[in-house]
């Protein structure tokens, strides 16, 4: 796990390689098969790529937080992908994949969405970056890096449309 400051954003591709190694190890050490579900949109990109790179069968699931967000009235329905889970959630051991873990509110909403589809046997979390600032008691089982990001800024994962290469963008949040 690496640590960095926002003045030097980490190499998203290098962190992806670290995340892939950790997820591969988690899959190998799990006594039960895990299914991947990526949180829209960055987590979905990561889950899709992990599914292919680790040679896992079938497509990874995609899960959206938009219907269960506590700020739904302000944000409305996101234009990002909606939930698609190509596996039976009941009794499944689910590994949620996300790009950036911050307050934990998105994860709370995603877990509510997941339970709308059934009752999983277990839910774990793997993230590319943990930026701290938790408001809810949520912690990643796997984390490629920890990064301090100043208040009022957001760390966003970007994907090049042509090459699929990942990078980070540091943006100022709108008030």
pLDDT tens for residues 18-58? Answer: 999 999 999 999 999 999 999 998 999 999 999 999 999 99
Q: Residue 78 belongs to what H/E stretch? A: none
Following CA atoms 125, 128, 129, 130 in sequence, which dihedral angle do they give, to the nearest 10 degrees?
10
* 166-172 and 93-101 strand pairing: unpaired
Question: Residue 66 has which token pair?
Answer: 């938009």
**pLDDT tier, 6 (very low <50, low <70, confident <90, very high otherwise):** very low
- Rounded to two decimals, the pTM is 0.90
pLDDT tens-digit readout, 124-146:
999 999 999 999 999 999 999 99
Q: Where are the domains of the chain?
A: 2-72+80-172
Tell me the pLDDT tens digit for each residue of 100-126: 999 999 999 999 999 999 999 999 999
Quick one: CATH architecture of 2-72+80-172?
3-Layer(aba) Sandwich (3.40)
In a 3-state reduction of DSSP, which class is residue 38?
A: strand
Among 154, 76, 175, 61, which Cα is nearest to 110's?
A: 61
């Amino acid at each position: 796990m690496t640590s960095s400051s926002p003045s030097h954003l980490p190499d998203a591709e290098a962190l992806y390689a670290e995340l892939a190694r950790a997820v591969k190890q988690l899959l190998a050490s799990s006594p039960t098969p895990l299914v991947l579900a990526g949180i829209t949109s960055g987590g979905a990109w990561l889950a899709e790529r992990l599914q292919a790179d680790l040679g896992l069968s079938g497509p990874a699931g995609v899960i959206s937080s938009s219907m269960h967000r506590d700020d739904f009235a302000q944000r409305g329905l996101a234009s990002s992908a909606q939930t698609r889970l190509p596996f039976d959630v009941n009794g499944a051991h689910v590994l949620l994949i996300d790009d950036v873990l911050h307050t934990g509110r998105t994860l709370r909403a995603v877990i509510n969405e997941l339970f709308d589809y059934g009752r999983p046997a277990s839910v774990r979390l793997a993230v590319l970056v943990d930026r701290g600032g938790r408001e809810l008691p949520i912690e990643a089982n796997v984390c490629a890096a920890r990064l301090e990001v100043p208040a009022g800024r957001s760390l966003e994962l970007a994907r090049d449309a042509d090459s699929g290469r990942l990078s980070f963008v540091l943006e100022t949040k709108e008030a």
